[in-house]
Chains A and B, each alone.
Chain A
Amino acid sequence: MPDTQWPRYMVFVQEQEKDPWRHYGTVHAPDADMALLNARDVFARRPQALGMQVVPAKLIFGKTLEELENPNWANEEIIGKSENYLIFAKPFEQSPCEQLGQVKANSSQDALKKALQNFPDQKALWWWVIPGSELSASDDADADSMFAPAFEKTYKNQAEYHTVTLMRELHDTGKLES
């Protein structure tokens, strides 16, 4: 069956100046612009965010710890061109996949090799290498309208609502049917 879904984009968020970019999740979107808009609504409503980036999921070159044990991984078909690559790693099950830095490399494989040399002690359940030219980022000028309003919204908190309790009372007292 053909896949009728829009392409998947990986979403990265920087919460505060000192924080690394963190992987937040994925959205479907017809293009990068819409992916940023969707990402804002899905992931940046409550938490604080300074900026957001998206990249088509299929352009991420990823290797798990297990896959790296097979030394042939570096001899697969070369992916990517000479440019800057962003290096991400997920250190533990409970921690987010986050950016460690970036390297200039000739391909995705080359970038990962350099990353493994540059961060020899890095614990990583998996590594991601992302071609810098394929990332789309939110504009700093848009940060106010994209992220700031979400911050002070108490009505996004479930605890602000007594609806569930009230509806239960209504049903119990027979004021509302079904």
Chain B
Amino acid sequence: MANVLADYLIALADDELILGHRVSEWCGHAPILEEDIAFANIALDEIGHARLWLELAAKELGEDPSTFPDKQAFFRSPADYRNLPLAELPNGDWAFSMLRQYLFDSFELARLEALNQSTHTGLSELAAKIRTEELYHLRHTQAWVLRLAQGTEESQQRSQKALNALWPHAQQFSSPLPAEEELNNEKKVPSSSELFSPWVSHQSDFFDEIGLALPPQTNSIDADRFTHTEHLTELLSDMQEVARLVPEGRW
């Protein structure tokens, strides 16, 4: 059964799930023990958010919310995923991973604040719940981005390099999610492009303040929510391997 809100929610969930999986790859490899725990916590939170969005999508579709999230996560092929390519890129170095998380969290927070005003009660309540946690993520990642940008010459250079690589991908925050226009007309969800301009001007002030330069020219990116990079295929084959070996397994 087709359902436009479910299409939208699945895309939100895919961002969280794929990014959460990437962040989880740092588990055991982060620069210090305390940060290893903190970043793994963020990964768990993001994967938890994916589950929440998928449970809501299941209700919209009349599916079982207790099995639908796993089915979506483990038994879809890369072409059926709707996440932003930003989320699936390999982790790179610490500056790259932390900056990606910061960019993602800060835009997500803007979207959650708007979703909190949704005329759809379930959506509005869930947005409020997830927002509480994202506030903390943003505080954590912003603290790191700031310190890396102003730390040593090397950490500054790595931060700038990460920003140059990520900024073109971040432009896709402005692209509509599946079914966004229709849902926006019903005041259920915000318009991504309307959230984007104030976000960019805020980020441009922030990066200016911490001494990083936004890349002047935005290169176009081939991939989008519907056309993925080869990195997603690799990520999913790792993430889905065991679940596909034992579909009946209880986790």
Contact = CB atoms under 8 A, between A and B. Distances in A.
Interface of A: 6, 27-30, 33-34, 37-38, 40-42, 45, 142, 144-146, 148-149, 153, 155-156, 161-163, 166-167, 170, 175-176
Contacts of A146: 136
Contacts of A142: 136, 139
A111 B135 CA distance: 39
B139 A145 contact: yes
Contacts of B246: 166, 170, 175
Given A166-B249, A170-B245, A170-B246, A29 B136 contact: no
B48 A163 contact: no
B34 A153 contact: no
B251 A166 contact: yes
B136 A145 contact: yes
Contacts of B143: 33-34, 37
A36 to B, nearest CB: 10
A161 B38 CA distance: 21
Contact of A149 (B133, B139, B140, B251): B133
B41 interface: yes
A161 B249 CA distance: 12
B38 A41 contact: yes
Nearest to B147: A30
A40 B139 CA distance: 12
Contact of A155 (B34, B44, B249, B250): B44
B32 interface: yes
A70 B43 CA distance: 51
Interface string B58-70: 0000000000000
